[in-house]
Amino acid sequence: MTIDLVIRQTLQIALVVGAAPLLAGWIRQCRAWLANRVGAGLLQPYRELFKLLRKEPVVACGASWVFIATPYIAFATMAVAGAIVPMMTSRLPLAGAADVVALAGLFALARIFAALAAMDLGTPFGSMGARRTMLVGFLAEPALLMVLFTPALISGSTSLAIIVRQLARHGFILYPSMAFAAAAFVMVALAENARLPVDNPETHLELTMIHEALNLEYSGPHLALIEWAAAMKLFVYIGIGVALFLPWGIAQGRGLATLPVACALFAMKLAVGGAGLALIETLLAKLRLFRVPEFLGIAFLLAVLGLLVRYLVGH
Amino acid sequence: MHTPIGLPWELLLSAVVLWSVVALASLLIPHVPRMAPAIFPLGALGALLTAGAGVLALRGPPISTVSPLGLPGLPFHGRLDALSGLFLLLFGVTACAISLDLAGYRAREHYPVASRIGLQYHILLASLALVFVAADAYSFLIAWEVMALSSYFLVVTDHHTPVVRSAGFLYLLIAHVGALAILAAFAILAAHAPAGAPLALTFSALRATDPDPAVAGLVFILALIGFGAKAGLVPLHVWLPEAHPVAPSPISALLSSVLLKVGIYGLLRVAFTLLPAPAPWWGLITLAAGLGTALSGALLSAVQSDMKRLLAYSSIENIGLIVAGIGLALLFSAYGLKAFAALSLIAALYHCLNHAFFKGLLFLGTGSVLHATGERNLGRLGGLIHRMPQTAFLMLIGTLAIAGVPPLNGFVSEWLTLQAFLKATALPRPYLAMGIPLGAALTALVAGLAGYVIVKFYGIVFLGRPREAKLAQAVESGPFERAGLGLLAALCVVTGLWPAGVIALIRPAAQALTGGEAPVTAGDHGARIAVAHAGYAPPLLWLALGIIALVGVLVLRLRSSGPARRAPPWNCGHPVAGARLQDTAEGFGQPIRHIFAPFLDIKCRRPGLDDPEPRYEAAVNDRFWEGLYRPLARGFEAVFAGARVLRPRRIAISLLYVLAMLVALLALTP
Amino acid sequence: MTHPTRIIDLLAALFLLVAFAMLSQRRLANLITLYAWQGTVLALSIAILAYETGNTHLYASAILNGLLKILAIPALLRRLARRLDVQWDRESLVQIPTVMLIGLGLVIFAFNAALPIAGLAHTVNHETVGIALASVLLSLLMMILRTAALSQVIGFLALENSLIFAATSVTGGMPMVIEFGVALDVIVGVFILGVFFFHIREQFDSLDLDRIEGRED
């Protein structure tokens, strides 16, 4: 392992951890603009995190170690997931440690811990949130895998680095199958990140919340870690989307010279992705909880259609 | 023993002898209570010997032997090859942990019960070891029947309860239907031996018979039914959720971890080593049966509220995934894609090992909970993580393993299975190449459901607040029990963190069966496995996760001194009332009932508006009872009611029937 | 592989997507919009095919299809829906996810059935025969599963779209005369059906098929 690789990996982790709140701020700002509001500015999430981190840690009575460990596990899982996805460069030492399936597994690990922590106190809202999270999770997982299968079949491997290399090598080509996969991926990403129309990140409405019900009992630094992890998850998801569907411009070479350009390109893609997400969230209304399986079912169907179309037309 | 038969055989035979001696010695427990503490640890020693034999067999060439025992002209044949070795290893280490647990379990049983369990348990272990090494149909079936009977007696340990007796009867009944199917499979195969040869009963002679495709197909179907009944394949699974919960928990662990795998072993033995090259439809049927079983098991386990029934249905689900892997392997074999067949088989066998470890762990843990609380109903448990912290920690490892998340072992086999499914596009038939990747989606759905189920299980049993006052008296399980749990948890972690090593163990078995070299490579000194350049390196992931979490802890802890301040839960401002307000198992399963309502048979009772004592009840029944078994039973009853008219009134006429039958059979014999 | 072919493949995929969307749609107004989108995809793909093959009569066909299916028929259908006051379809006969799974099965079947046909054809976009065939089957499925008469008519029109799509993908378009004839038939058909609907409703007070079928006389 050369020093070059270590620098890349460290840079990547620093980027994911450091820039994730910025992306969250950008999305909020876009939503504010779309709703004709001024918005709180791009840096608002940092201020919130900083404020939470400074507070005294308070833990509910009767909480076990599962409850206390979960914020750290969530944070670490998302940071590791961010370390694996090729964002600026496909040459990452950790990229060989996990492919897309393992990435989905890492998300599942975080989800299971979040659900267990929510059940730890035995509050009704907590277990309701746990149940709903697991519901969305087990429905989203097959859809996500089907989405990932199409690029995996095109490139012959489930490794994200190889997918990026294969797709980027052929130049700009329209893959009809990838269009389907992209549509399905957006739907899955919305559901997995607790965004509209599956969950509303802005409210704590008792009877409809999913993600917020999970971290009701957290406060101070623990809450900061969880919120940070959620921002990183969204960041990583958009990163996966970029790697799969817009891989052009991700640096392939060995040197560090190409990184600044790749970084700027990636920032642009992220900005576009975030704005798109804000647009979707502005246009859609929240679905009833029991329409969510239908929503994810359609995502699954789209992904499968992509797979079939790929088989039919050969690309 | 006048000739050396090789170290693995010596280890195995000494284990069998040891178990037989221990079984007999158990009979004396009521009379000599002093020897009671030694019984089960000795059993564990035998299990370790067996595991050693398994490892040696996996690494060395196959060794055959002919024992002096048996019928005249038909001695018992034995053969230790890679497949036997793998299953012996699985059986040995799991049985070792279960014996340790039983050593603790025995301490709280009356001596007569302990004596009976000791006898039957060690007979079962000995017969299991013999099933895995039997190399002729005759000794195989004898060992098989001994295994079925001794496990039946273990299931009905608590035979004073009618529920237990009826569950045991069902177990015995389906075991025998299965045994008949296996017998028929062997008999048909033997009947197609080349003319002039002596009766083909050894496996090598059966392999030499070259049945035409139709006969081979028939034998395969019979084997699938027979071994599927043992493994719990839908629709022959109905005994499993009845029998596993009523048996003592260590026995449930053995049933689930090892006895189900005997069915898998038998299926592999017949399909891959006794029959000629498979036809594509064998693979398709097996794949469909496996996926159907997995989905039914997952759905039904999601709606259970008895913790052992929940685990029993979850076993059905896991068996389904294993059988689906075997189906994929058969399909690849049928089209000559040997390397991919080996890959699928490695995935299936890896999952066999995983399931043995984590399901054994979970069942043993349930036993500890049951012992500490006397309660099996999820709705009356809760908060045990505070009362039994070590058990709860070990069970969390099992929970994460069965949920199939990295970096534990359940994920490795899921990963391998999905990689195998991705290879299905290499199949030369468009239908298959298009349709089979959908199986991967079903696998993912089942894995997701498994996560849902196990979060429900762990969250309701160990987390939250105790739902009953008596749970406050629960105490941590004893050292032997924790040793058993710890062994299995350690195995879950090791097989999760070091997949390259486990695959190196399994590879000879998969290669022997399929004749192909699986395209799984190991890299980074065994830390990483890769299929088609897509790698998975759990130690690296573990390391990265650990470092980042540690940095987080250090950063946050540096600023605050001492533990965090405690405060009452917030709960959206509502005061947190009684523990009964927590989510129940029924409540947690409600979304599943709602989404999959068309697939489930739900009996729901909702309270009316003016109900003085409003109660909500929902029960989910297995559809196969109403859909298949009850009509079948009614059909049988009708047939036998009709046959009653033939019943003779005089004994002479009965004898006449016998005579007529005898004459007819003699006339038919060529 | 040239860019126009890839674009046609993409459009074919979108065509299939719209067919699925129609299958899952509950609201009549959305159904009509989807029909217009299907027409757009169809017209675009014919136009690109015309560009690729240099066949001028395909341009005419594209314009004809576009005018008819993006503008005329959707407008007619909207007017009809408004005047008949049927904005909503009742829930389809089978649950939507189940419908989707059936549809998926049909697509797999159609793709397999089309493989030999696609092998015979020599047009640039012969791979899309499977998609066209699948769309035909999906439109039929939609007609079977809908209870409102107007949705069935839309299913019928989608069927016709799929057939045109199939024709262009196998043979590079039908002769001009036939195209004009079909277009005329379709538009006359929609008019006549509109008139019929008014009469049916006067007689039965409903446009739900199960009610209409329930009448004995």
Query: What are the tens digits of pLDDT across the range C115-172?
Result: 777 667 666 666 778 888 888 899 888 888 877 777 778 888 888 888 888 887 777 6
pLDDT reading at B1 higher than 50: no
Peptide bond into B612 cis (omega under 30): no
Interface size between A and B, measured as CB pairs under 8 A: 260
For C18-36, the pLDDT digits (tens) are 888 888 777 788 888 999 9
- Could you tell me the CA-to-CA distances from B182 to B179, B188, B227, B235, B470 in Å, in that order? 5, 10, 7, 17, 48
Residues in chain A whose Cβ is within 8 Å of chain C: 173-174, 176-177, 179-180, 183, 293-294, 297-298, 301-302, 304-306, 308-309, 311-315
Q: Which of B375, B395, B370 is closest to B385 using CA atoms?
A: B395
Please tell me the distance from the alpha carbon of residue B399 to that of residue B385, in angstroms, as a whole number. 14
Q: What's the confidence (pLDDT) of residue C216?
A: 47
DSSP conformation class of C16: H
- Could you tell me the CA-to-CA distances from B558 to A17, A66, A74, B554 in Å, in that order? 20, 21, 20, 6
CB contact under 8 A, A128 and B541: no
Average pLDDT value for chain B: 87
Q: What's the confidence (pLDDT) of residue C180?
A: 67
Please tell me the distance from the alpha carbon of residue A119 to that of residue B465, in angstroms, as a whole number. 9
- Could you tell me the CA-to-CA distances from A234 to A47, A81, B552, C180 in Å, in that order? 19, 11, 20, 52
Provide the pairing of β-strand B534-536 with B528-531: antiparallel
Q: What's the confidence (pLDDT) of residue C22?
A: 86
Q: What's the confidence (pLDDT) of residue B608?
A: 80
Please tell me the distance from the alpha carbon of residue B332 to that of residue B344, in angstroms, as a whole number. 9
Please tell me the distance from the alpha carbon of residue C211 to that of residue C203, in angstroms, as a whole number. 12
Radius of gyration of chain A (CA): 19
Of all helices (H) and strands (E), which one includes residue B494?
A: helix B479-497
Q: Which of B319, B314, B398 is closest to B352 using CA atoms?
A: B319
What 3-state DSSP class applies to B522? Answer: strand
User: Among the listed ranges B289-303, B395-409, B556-570, which one has the minimum average pLDDT value?
Assistant: B556-570
Which segments of B107-212 does DSSP mark as H helices, in order? 111-133, 137-155, 162-191, 203-208
CB contact under 8 A, C112 and B430: yes
For B601-654, the pLDDT digits (tens) are 888 778 888 888 777 777 788 888 888 888 988 998 999 888 888 777 777 888
Q: What share of chain C is helix, strand, coil (3-state, %, to 5)?
A: 85, 0, 15
- Going residue by residue through chain A (315 aa), what tens digit of pLDDT does each one get? 578 788 888 888 898 999 999 999 999 999 999 989 988 889 999 999 999 988 888 888 888 899 999 999 999 999 999 998 988 887 887 887 888 899 999 999 999 999 999 999 888 888 888 999 999 998 998 899 889 888 888 888 888 888 888 888 776 666 778 888 998 999 999 999 888 888 887 777 777 788 888 888 898 889 999 999 999 999 999 999 988 888 887 777 766 677 788 888 889 999 999 999 999 988 888 888 878 888 888 888 888 888 888 877 765
Give the N- to C-terminal CA distance of chain C in Å, as an integer: 60
Distance from CA of B567 to the nearest CA of A (A): 5
Average pLDDT value for chain C: 77
**Beta-bridge partner residues of B605:** B617
Instruction: Burial-class residue B665 by CB neighbours within 10 Å (0-12, 13-18, 19+).
Output: exposed
- Contact (CB, 8 A) for B481 and B360: no
CB contact under 8 A, A106 and B406: yes
Provide the pairing of β-strand A58-60 with B565-567: parallel
- Contact (CB, 8 A) for C47 and C167: no
Q: Which of C10, C128, C130 sits opposite A179 (nearest CB)?
A: C10
Q: Which domain holds residue A179?
A: 3-313
Pick the residue of A146, A291, A313, A315 with the most C CBs within 10 A to test the interface with C by mutation: A313
pLDDT reading at C101 higher than 90: no
Q: What's the confidence (pLDDT) of residue C208?
A: 65
CB contact under 8 A, C108 and B598: no
What 3-state DSSP class applies to B231? Answer: helix
Measured between beta carbons, the chain A residues lying within 8 angstroms of C14 are 176, 179
- Contact (CB, 8 A) for B493 and B397: yes
- Could you tell me the CA-to-CA distances from C106 to A313, B178, B184, B428, C137 in Å, in that order? 17, 37, 40, 21, 7
Interface size between A and C, measured as CB pairs under 8 A: 62
- Contact (CB, 8 A) for B47 and B14: no
Nearest CA in chain C to A183: C17
Q: What b/e sequence results for A16-33 when a residue is b if at least 16 CB atoms lie within 10 Å of its CB, and e otherwise?
A: bbebbbbbbbbbbbbbbe
Peptide bond into B631 cis (omega under 30): no
The two tokens of residue B661 are: 């039958």
CB contact under 8 A, A142 and B441: yes
pLDDT reading at B196 higher than 90: no
- Could you tell me the CA-to-CA distances from A206 to A121, A286, C167 in Å, in that order? 17, 14, 55
Measured between beta carbons, the chain B residues lying within 8 angstroms of C111 are 430, 434
Q: What's the confidence (pLDDT) of residue B561?
A: 65
Q: Around Cβ B52, how many Cβ atoms within 10 Å?
A: 18
Measured between beta carbons, the chain B residues lying within 8 angstroms of C112 are 430-431, 434
Tell me how far apart the 2 most distant CA atoms of chain B are, in Å: 98
- Contact (CB, 8 A) for B81 and B512: yes
Q: What's the confidence (pLDDT) of residue C191?
A: 67
Q: Around Cβ B566, how many Cβ atoms within 10 Å?
A: 11
What 3-state DSSP class applies to B80? Answer: strand
Please tell me the distance from the alpha carbon of residue B562 to that of residue A59, in angstroms, as a whole number. 13
Going by pLDDT thresholds of 50, 70 and 90, the confidence category of residue B2 is: very low
CB contact under 8 A, C115 and B431: no
The two tokens of residue C59 are: 């341009």
Distance from CA of C4 to the nearest CA of A (A): 10
What share of chain B in percent tops pLDDT 90?
43
Q: What are phi and psi of C127, to 5 degrees?
A: -65, -20
Q: Where are the beta strands (DSSP E) in A7-70?
A: 58-60
Residues in chain B whose Cβ is within 8 Å of chain C: 430-431, 434-435, 598
Tell me how far apart the 2 most distant CA atoms of chain C are, in Å: 60
Radius of gyration of chain B (CA): 26
Peptide bond into A124 cis (omega under 30): no
DSSP conformation class of B528: E
Q: Tell me the residue type at B249.
A: S
Pick the residue of A131, A302, A308 with the most B CBs within 10 A to test the interface with B by mutation: A131
Distance from CA of B283 to the nearest CA of C (A): 20
Measured between beta carbons, the chain C residues lying within 8 angstroms of B595 are none
Q: What are phi and psi of A216, to 5 degrees?
A: -55, -40
Q: What's the confidence (pLDDT) of residue B407?
A: 84
For B310-362, the pLDDT digits (tens) are 999 999 999 999 999 999 999 999 999 999 999 999 999 999 999 999 999 99
- Contact (CB, 8 A) for A21 and A28: no
CB contact under 8 A, A102 and B411: yes
Average pLDDT over residues C191-198: 70
Q: Which of C17, C24, C128 sits opposite A305 (nearest CB)?
A: C17
What 3-state DSSP class applies to A58? Answer: strand
Going by pLDDT thresholds of 50, 70 and 90, the confidence category of residue B4 is: low
Please tell me the distance from the alpha carbon of residue B400 to that of residue A81, in angstroms, as a whole number. 18
Question: ipTM of the assembly?
Answer: 0.93
Q: Which residues contact A10 (CB under 8 A, 6 or more apart)?
A: none
What 3-state DSSP class applies to B586? Answer: helix
- Could you tell me the CA-to-CA distances from C31 to B641, C35, C151 in Å, in that order? 59, 6, 8
Total domains, chain A: 1
- Contact (CB, 8 A) for A233 and A107: yes
The two tokens of residue B226 are: 């027979």
Q: Which residues contact B434 (CB under 8 A, 6 or more apart)?
A: A307, A308, A311, C108, C111, C112
Please tell me the distance from the alpha carbon of residue B392 to that of residue B476, in angstroms, as a whole number. 9
Please tell me the distance from the alpha carbon of residue B519 to that of residue B530, in angstroms, as a whole number. 8
- Contact (CB, 8 A) for B85 and B54: yes
Q: What are phi and psi of B14, to 5 degrees?
A: -65, -35
Q: Which residue is listed with tokens 């406050």?
A: B472
Helix axes of B213-231 and B260-268: crossing angle, nearest 10 degrees: 170
CB contact under 8 A, B430 and C95: no
Q: What are phi and psi of C94, to 5 degrees?
A: -120, 155
To 10 degrees, the CA torsion angle through B219, B223, B226, B229? -140
CA angle at residue C168 from C166 to C171, to 5 degrees? Answer: 100
Q: What's the confidence (pLDDT) of residue C217?
A: 45
Instruction: Burial-class residue B336 by CB neighbours within 10 Å (0-12, 13-18, 19+).
Output: exposed
Kindly tell me the sign of the dihedral angle through the C-alpha atoms of B26, B30, B35, B38.
positive
Q: What's the confidence (pLDDT) of residue B309?
A: 92
- Could you tell me the CA-to-CA distances from B5 to B9, B52, B103, B256, B396 in Å, in that order? 6, 15, 33, 32, 43
Helix axes of A176-192 and A124-155: crossing angle, nearest 10 degrees: 160
